Structure 1
Amino acid sequence: MSGDCFSCGGLPWRELPVESGTALPHHAIAVGQAFAALADSGSLVMLATPDSPARLNFLPEHHLVVLSRSRLLSRMERLWPLLREQDTQAVHLLTGPSSTADIGGQLLYGAHGPRALHVLLTP
């Protein structure tokens, strides 16, 4: 399903193919919005909703996450009251890109999800 970029501004992104909806195996990059982030663990809090499918968090190799600075929480205890008001299918805590050292003791990124995770802080 094609659609406009949610915040292209003056950048020439409108010339690029943009799809909205869930991630598919051939997608290299996903852009999502974090519900919150936890400073004490460095984790992003991602909600699974129709507007933010869970596959965006796990399928593409590169994940760009937009986070509002006002949702940067000092610790997890501050998250629970905010979650009570949400209608979500799941809550995922992401703490960096997917990695493993199971095979030969060598660190490998992208084994079970994104190879790279980038957070874009907004006011």
Structure 2
Amino acid sequence: MDNARARILSRIRRSAAQSDEALRIASVEDRLMHPQRNLVPERGQGDEAHRIAVFVRMMEQVGGSVEILDDLNDVPASVAAYLRNTNRPAAIRHGQDERLATLPWHRAQTLTVSEGRAEDSDTASLTHAFAGVAESGTIVQLSGPDNPTTLNFMPEAHIVLLEAKDLVASYEEVWSRLRDAYGPGRMPRTVNMISGPSRTGDIEQTIVRPAHGPKDMHVIIVKSP
């Protein structure tokens, strides 16, 4: 080890040894209990209509599609229409999420609805988003039996139900909601942030879809009552 590097490391060790361990631990715990937000972009800031407009623009820029509904009960018919218009089988799989299970699926009589984790034969899935981020057109999904992670990535088409009340301006608001939902020091096993369908530009900078997930991503936003 050269002398300059040895001197620097020596100073670091002396500084660490001289510091008060209890004070350092308290400082870290205080930071975790009172997280501070960094600079938040203004792009997503605004009322519900503004957030929806920004989200739609950002999602469409990365190849996704969006439909906006006024009534949650119209979701089954919307799902059936999307599958029909994209020439896919009239079949959908979702998890145990109560909001999806209690939708009036009888309104889409031709649609076959299954529940559980994705299977190799599934061509389309439906999940309920924990949140959406307007500034980047991103969907936030939490793992668990309500919305299994396999539904996000295995089927060719991923349809997402996003309630407008859960569409926030920035990522910082998502983390605040997660802390409120799970409590200090607790998190779901997996948090997936998804911006559009799976794609890659690794080969000659040419965008190819899909890459490691769904070919298509369709978001259904239901406005607040």
Q: Note whether the superposition's TM-score is higher than 0.5.
A: yes
Q: What is residue 12 of structure 1 aligned with on the other side?
A: 108
**Equivalent of 2:197 in 97, 104, 107:** 97
> CA separation of 1:42/1:12 partners in 2, compared to 1, >3 Å: closer, same or farther?
closer
Q: Which amino acid aligns with 1:92?
A: N
Q: Which has the higher strand share?
A: 1
After superposition, the Cα gap between the structure-2 partners of 1:5 and 1:16, relative to the gap in structure 1 and judged at 3 Å, is farther
Could you tell me whether the CA contact under 8 Å between 1:58 and 1:114 is conserved in 2?
yes
Partner of 1:61: 156
Unaligned 5+ runs, structure 1: none
Residue identity (%): 34
User: C-alpha root-mean-square deviation of aligned residues, in Å?
Assistant: 2.2
Higher helix share: 2
Structure label with greater radius of gyration = 2
Q: Give distance in 2, aligned partners of 1:16 and 1:77.
A: 38
Match of residue 143, structure 2, among 34, 45, 48:
48
* Superposition TM-score, scaled by structure 1 size: 0.87
Shift of 1:103: 3.1
Is 1:121 the counterpart of 2:216 in the alignment? no
Secondary structure of the structure 2 residue equivalent to 1:83 = helix
Contact 1:5–1:18, Cα closer than 8 Å, also in 2:
no
The TM-score normalised by the length of structure 2 is 0.49
Q: Which runs of 5+ in 2 are unaligned?
A: 1-92
Number of residue pairs matched by the alignment: 121
Query: Greater relative contact order (Cα 8 A, min sep 6): structure 1 or 2?
Result: 1
